[in-house]
Amino acid sequence: MKKTVSVSGALLLALVPAISGCSSSTGGIAAPAAGVTPAGGALPIKASGKALAFRANAKNTASINSYTNLPTSQHAILQARILEKSKAGGIQIAGSADVDKNPSTAQGTNPALVSAFSADTLKNGTAIAGMKDAKGNIYFENGNFGDAQASNETASLSSVGVYNIYDKNSKLVDQIVMKHGTTIRYREGKDGDPTATYAVGYIGNNTTNMPASGMATYKGFMESGTSVYDDNGTMQQMGLRGGKVELTADFGAGKVTGGVSGAQFVTYKGNNMVVLNKNITGLNIKADITGAEYTGTATLVDANKKAIGTTSSNEAIGAFFGDGAAETAAAYLIEGKAPIDGQNRDYIMSGGIGAVKK
């Protein structure tokens, strides 16, 4: 789906307990923004990629979306502790979307039947149930890859590859469009089950003609996944707000660096934004390139890129898409402790980055 943000050069902070689309925070199916005319993409879509996934204690509920009158699900994480996660390097994921020939009246401009699955399991053998022909919508604009939003009674999926940036006067100042891939956020868990599985990743057309030398800088956006801290037993949403999202690839050295800089580390309590640690200003990614993909680490850092807090696990994965590595996408998952809102607290932070070559 398309995302919008009102601060030039900023990233969007998704501080909601359910996966949200461009106009919904219910975890259900979101309709395209009014006046948007799809362009450039078409159904059907088939794609594959990778994701970082983990299982945690959660409250899972199923309901009917009041807007679409379709099944939907919510997966509220109850503990900032990972019970089980994907193997190093993530899991392989695949998905498809085809025209829904019998859509609901509120299903959107491009109603689709969306499927997502993985043949891989988490480290201890937990399988990914996936979704099969869930009623949803695909968003197309300016030739983007195609972004899905779908939910059923056990799972929710959201993807973002088009990102609008507005100034303080609501004037469009920039648009980032991924034409060869898209970021993915996914959650699943049956109503009443004590745990849920959460994943962040990407799908797309991996580059087949990777540069062997030189450097490239990618301007991007960040989408928060499941990111919470333990506020004395209550899970509070958290994330980075503002700042610059940028990745640099040194193809000759086989390295990817960058992430987020100049941001604020915040939560929202009621309608009030609360800065949780003024020294945390970014997310630092360091990774090694193998073929058209890369693996490495992601760390919360200060303005000098010094790590803040400790981590029990921190991982980043990514891939290059399109001709000559025209685009890139990355996913990260961190579990650790850090000074948050005046105390040393447990946290989980996950999300994805989508970016295009400058």
* Cα–Cα distance for residue pair 185/19, rounded to 1 Å: 7
Of 14 and 143, the one with more pLDDT? 143
Structural domain boundaries, residue 301:
2-357
pLDDT tier for residue 166 given thresholds of 50, 70 and 90: confident
Whether residue 38 has pLDDT greater than 50: no
Report CA torsion sign: 173, 269, 2, 54: positive
Lowest mean per-residue pLDDT among 3-7, 118-122, 130-134, 315-319: 3-7
Whether 128 contacts 53, CB under 8 Å: yes
Kindly report, residue by residue over 292-329, the tens digit of the pLDDT.
999 999 999 999 999 999 999 999 999 999 999 999 99
Q: What's the pTM value of the predicted model, to 2 decimals?
A: 0.90
Q: Partners of 48 in the beta sheet? A: 94
- For residues 87 and 47, what is the distance between their CA atoms, to the nearest angstrom? 21
Separation between Cα atoms, residue 285 and residue 298, nearest integer Å: 4
User: Exposed, middle or buried, 155 (CB in 10 Å: 0-12/13-18/19+)?
Assistant: buried
The total of other beta-carbon atoms located within 10 Å of residue 293's CB is: 21
The per-residue b/e assignment along 14-31, b for 16 or more CB within 10 angstroms, e otherwise, is: bbebbbbbbbbebbbbbb
Residue 106 pLDDT grade (very low, low, confident, very high; cuts 50, 70, 90)? confident
| Mean per-residue pLDDT, 28-35 | 30
Among 174, 138, 120, 122, smallest CA distance to 31 is for: 138
Residue 115 has a pLDDT of: 98
- What is the rounded average pLDDT of the residues 250-261? 98
* Residue pLDDT, tens place only, 49-90: 999 999 999 999 999 998 888 999 999 999 999 999 999 999
Q: Average pLDDT over the chain, rounded to whole?
A: 89
Residue 181, amino acid: G
pLDDT at 13 over 80: no
Check whether 29 has a pLDDT greater than 60: no
Instruction: Say how many C-beta atoms besides its own lie within 10 A of residue 311's C-beta.
Output: 18
Number of domains in the chain: 1
